[in-house]
Homo-oligomer: A and B are copies of this chain.
Amino acid sequence: MNTLSRRHNIEDIAEMAGVSRGTVSRVLNNHPAVSDETRTKVLDVIEKLNYRPNFSARHMRTDSSNLVGFGLITDEVITTPYAVDMIRGAQEALWARGKVMLVVNAGYDTQMTEASLEALLERRVEGIIYAAMYHRPVELPAPATQVPIVLTNCFAVDRSLTSVVPDEVSGGYAATKHILSRGHRRIGFINLGATPRNVPPPLPASNGRLEGYKRALAEYDVPFDPTLVHYTNQTPENNYQLTLDLMKLPQPPTAIFCGNDRTALGCYGALADLGLRIPDDVAVVGFDNFKDIADGLWPPLTTVQLPHYEMGKWAVEFLLSGSVLENEPFQKLIDCPLVERESV
């Protein structure tokens, strides 16, 4: 059984060490004007009693609000594995500054989002990051403007808040260009259709990647063929079926660019059923670089990296720099680089 010692305060320490509060405080804050003798005496007592200064008291007096650092509100980032790297990016950047992070998962519920915001504001966080699971427009409750805030992987519909999002165009371009550079000229594209929450188009991911796809084709003087572009509702069956459809075309593609890695899963399954081999018969490229799929599949999947980690990190650093108060809100784009494996 645990015996948790009663909490001591600075007065207890002072008394036991035979000094005053002030002296203990000076020791705690590494103030120079303390004799070595006294310092070690005080430190001994602190050590023995497992004393830790009360953060609340310290915070109240100094108003150095790194009490908790930042708050992170997410829709479903915590619930789902896709974007965990955003959390990691933010957490590591914060930790490097000696701060910790409050995490709240608010789902897609407006009331819950408002309550989360309230909870974080009450706790006097220095800033807030609102992170979305997938790239989308969001509308945040009014109190959001009462604290420095950055949106990651999403943006305010009215652009009134600073946000950081993936440069989808760069990703679609990188993927397509890579396929083209390997000699393919007929490239199927199973683009993202419906979103997990049926958000109405335009879907930034879908549009952006398509634009990148077109741009790369143009660069190689390959005419854009709309029959090669399909839209998946992101169910396994649909991913499977759309691949079959593509391969049934009069001139079937020799490469397929999948809207995300999950789509590639269905694509692999369909190609296997058709007796086609990857990458010899058909090349496949994914999107997300969702490690456990991309790196777990056989053959390992060449795909495009979503910059989750970088977005989380950027958000923290931007907030810490104090720039939120100085700049007009803007949108920061981060590149989506290609990750080469063995499916092309």
Q: Which residues of A contact B (CB under 8 A)?
A: 1-2, 4-5, 50, 52-57, 59-60, 67-68, 78-82, 84-85, 87-88, 91-92, 95, 100-105, 118-124, 143, 145-148, 236-237, 239-240, 262, 265-266, 268-270, 272-273, 275, 277, 290-293, 295-300, 324-328
Closest to A264 in B: B296
| A123-B67 CB under 8 A given contacts A4-B148, A297-B269 | yes
| A-B residue pairs, 4 tightest by C-beta | A81-B81, A269-B298, A272-B272, A56-B56
Flag if A236 contacts B54 (CB, 8 Å): no
Please give the count of copies of this chain that the complex contains: 2
A172 to chain B, nearest CB (A): 21
A233 to chain B, nearest CB (A): 13
Q: Give the complex CA separation of A100 and B52 in angstroms.
A: 22
Interface pair A56/B50, CB less than 8 Å apart: no
User: A60, B68: Cβ atoms under 8 Å?
Assistant: no
Given contacts A60-B57, A84-B81, A298-B239, contact A2 B325 (CB under 8 A): yes
> In the complex the two chains form, what is the Cα distance from A57 to B57 in whole Å?
7
Q: Which of B100, B277, B293 contacts A292 (CB 8 A)?
A: B293
Contact call B272/A2, Cβ cutoff below 8 A: no
- Interface pair B146/A5, CB less than 8 Å apart: yes
Given A122-B53, A148-B4 in contact, is the A293-B295 Cβ separation under 8 Å? no
A121: contacting residue among B52, B262, B275, B296, CB under 8 A: B52
A119 and B148: CB pair below 8 A? no
Return chain B residues, CB-CB under 8 Å to A290.
Answer: 81, 292
Residues of B close to A79: CB separation below 8 A: 84-85, 88
A296 touches which of B60, B293, B298 (Cβ 8 Å): B293
The answer to whether A146 touches B91 (Cβ under 8 A) is no
Q: A12 → chain B, closest Cβ, in Å? A: 16
Closest chain B residue to A61, Cβ basis? B56
Interchain residue pairs with CB less than 8 A apart (22): A4-B146, A4-B148, A5-B146, A50-B146, A55-B122, A56-B57, A68-B102, A80-B81, A81-B290, A84-B84, A95-B105, A100-B102, A100-B104, A100-B120, A236-B295, A236-B296, A236-B297, A239-B298, A266-B298, A269-B298, A292-B292, A293-B296
